[in-house]
Amino acid sequence: MGGDIPDTGREKLPPPRPPPTHPNPRSLPAMHTRTKLLPLALALFGLGLVAQAAPSVENWENHCAKCHGADGKGATKVGKKLKLRDYTDAAVQAKMTDEEIIKAITDGVFEGEKEKMKAYKEELTAAEIAELLAYVRKFRP
């Protein structure tokens, strides 16, 4: 029994873990975390406001201005060919109902079987179509 280690009843413990190379977010004080999150939240909120304001202008430029013109007068080459209405004319605005404008944007415009304006129901959401309606109404004098 000379070379035997006496049994003390204790198990050998694993070696200690090295400290983490990055801070554990749970160990950070709550105030420190909030200080970092507040500017991020404000920036994202600001981007959301900008993102909500831009679509009607962008959608007009991307889908409508080629024919209706940036100014809504319909005085483009295509607009003249299709004899588009001038949205800056009060009489034209008074004659068009919101429902007619939404239907035109959603389902397109046809003269008989001929498509005069393509439908945008597959490309634009209902909210974007409503924003375009409001955009058209802003041309009203």
What value does the mean pLDDT of the chain take? 82
Q: Tell me: pLDDT of 106 over 90.
A: yes
What is the arithmetic mean of pLDDT over 3-32? Answer: 63
Confidence of residue 25 (pLDDT cuts 50, 70, 90): low
Nearest-angstrom CA–CA distance, 60 and 88: 15
Domain 55-137 indexed as CATH 1.10.760.10: yes
Runs of H (alpha helix) within the chain: 30-53, 55-59, 65-68, 77-82, 90-95, 98-107, 126-137
Q: For the chain, which residues make up each domain, given as ranges? A: 55-137
Q: Which amino acid is at 131?
A: E
Backbone angles phi, psi at 95, to 5 degrees: -75, -30
Q: Tell me: pLDDT of 37 over 70.
A: no
pLDDT of residue 43: 62
pLDDT of residue 62: 94
SS3 content of the chain, % helix, strand, coil (to 5): 55, 5, 40
What is the arithmetic mean of pLDDT over 11-23? Answer: 71
Pair 110, 124: CB distance under 8 Å: no
pLDDT of residue 18: 76
Nearest-angstrom CA–CA distance, 33 and 36: 5
